[in-house]
Structure 1
């Protein structure tokens, strides 16, 4: 536990996490055998789960998708000796829940082809809604000069952005902030200009990864057009063409989970930027469904239907357009 930590929660509800832990223990030099066992163990232990003698909380179809989608992460762990934190926060630290957003105007918006003129009013709707629920909002920005309040904190970040994309830069900003604030328990990383908190999500969250979505299927023409230069993403879109399109404007969960997700997102974006383009919708869907398949929650509990401008929902935590 001191050397390699515990289970990797990114495996979610089922599959591979025990192999991952054994790999890390072995690669750290803590055992001479990767999967140690005793002679004749099949006569000592009868696994009802393995022999399907008991019911499972994971359906056969869900298990099929988890095996396929988690295989990449499991194979990567074969040479890993990394430490995986297994506690929700440092012992004795006071927990806090926060909403993070970014407001980055130093570089042009590659989706719209324009440079944003800083205007603090753009964040007014999000700010008011978070304050209304008594929650804390942290704005990571490169252009504002606003005083902090009891519930709103403004943090200036260095202007920049890998490969000229603020869509990539925001994941780096979120990752750095979460890395530097281990006192955070739960967090949401949200778009700043078209998102509104309708209900307080924090009391109802667990250890899963919550994301936004859209009514369209994954493999829509817009996605193919934006990411057509990446063979990896095109194959992913083709293989998963009928699944719901996830939207990167809403990402929430435990600090440790979201911290890792932000790092994985930034790594994927900058590694594949030249082929995949400067937008992050394709990488978001790829990383979420490939590396976090067992953890994803989306739907009307998380957000209203995209672009419906629904402010009266009593079911959804967030309105996203």
Structure 2
């Protein structure tokens, strides 16, 4: 196992609430740009999946990109279930990994190696993540957090306290292994405890991520440039950030 990893998850056959469709099985085009960008940076990328054929995996795996088949647990939305996949996988390699980033797979590409950037190397206790050009207090997040607000006793207080802070985006986050894995374990615990009975139209992934990051890791947060480009600005040629997110 190499010391730095970039992980992503691609689950099909389940209705995608973000795209309002069900993703097709065995469609490599959905992950091609991500895989090629990671390989171009000579980093080790792993795609966890439930539908790529053996032929597709054999065709596209290389010295940098590998595929790991998983069995999807429908108790959680795919946006949430991926965190359990990452947690269980990384638990096997605690002593071997120095840094990790996990990202969305169909709308994120890597622009430069984050693990050698001075900001990353000088801040081993930092949690790096994407953000958006809007505040936590916005109409979408208020709706997204409906379920968690009713489950977590101090959720409303957190929303009020951080209302004017930048909205963090869980489509890109990472750090040195100790802080990253600590955050990931706590994120999974939040979902296991409070999000398993979510019957709303929203997944709760952004709500849980922002809540945990702001209430327990706020002093360690590094977000925005150079971690990510402007969300949904489609800055596809930009090379001064680590990741491009739409």
Please say whether Structure 1 and Structure 2 have the same fold, judged by a TM-score greater than 0.5.
yes
Aligned residues: 227
Q: Residues 259 and 285 (structure 1 numbering): CA distance in 2 closer, same or farther, change over 3 Å?
A: same
Q: Using the TM superposition, give the Cα deviation of residue 187 of structure 1 relative to its aligned residue in structure 2, in angstroms.
A: 0.9
| TM-score, L = length of structure 1 | 0.67
Q: Using the TM superposition, give the Cα deviation of residue 106 of structure 1 relative to its aligned residue in structure 2, in angstroms.
A: 4.1
Where 1:102 maps in the other structure, the secondary structure is strand
Structure possessing the higher radius of gyration over alpha carbons? 1
Q: Distance in 2 between matches of 1:193 and 1:138?
A: 14
The answer to whether structure 1 residue 192 and structure 2 residue 105 are counterparts is yes
Q: Distance in 2 between matches of 1:108 and 1:238?
A: 32
Runs of 4+ in structure 1 deviating by more than 4 angstroms, as ranges, are: none
Q: Using the TM superposition, give the Cα deviation of residue 112 of structure 1 relative to its aligned residue in structure 2, in angstroms.
A: 4.2
8 Å CA contact retained: 1:211, 1:296: yes
Tell me what 1:228 maps to: 146
Q: Using the TM superposition, give the Cα deviation of residue 315 of structure 1 relative to its aligned residue in structure 2, in angstroms.
A: 2.4
The answer to whether structure 1 residue 173 and structure 2 residue 98 are counterparts is no
Q: Distance in 2 between matches of 1:140 and 1:234?
A: 34
Structure in which a larger fraction of residues adopt strand: 2
The answer to whether structure 1 residue 125 and structure 2 residue 33 are counterparts is yes
Q: Residues 156 and 191 (structure 1 numbering): CA distance in 2 closer, same or farther, change over 3 Å?
A: same
Q: Distance in 1 between matches of 2:157 and 2:18?
A: 23
Q: Distance in 2 between matches of 1:175 and 1:130?
A: 21
Where 2:219 maps in the other structure, the secondary structure is coil
Q: Residues 116 and 312 (structure 1 numbering): CA distance in 2 closer, same or farther, change over 3 Å?
A: closer
Tell me what 1:215 maps to: 133
Q: Distance in 2 between matches of 1:112 and 1:198?
A: 24
Give per-residue Cα distances to partners, 1:176-227, cap 9 Å, x unaligned.
1111123111111010001111111111213111000001000100011122
| TM-score, L = length of structure 2 | 0.86
Tell me what 1:86 maps to: none
Q: Using the TM superposition, give the Cα deviation of residue 116 of structure 1 relative to its aligned residue in structure 2, in angstroms.
A: 1.6
Higher mean C-alpha displacement, 122-131 vs 311-320: 311-320
Q: Distance in 1 between matches of 2:173 and 2:157?
A: 24
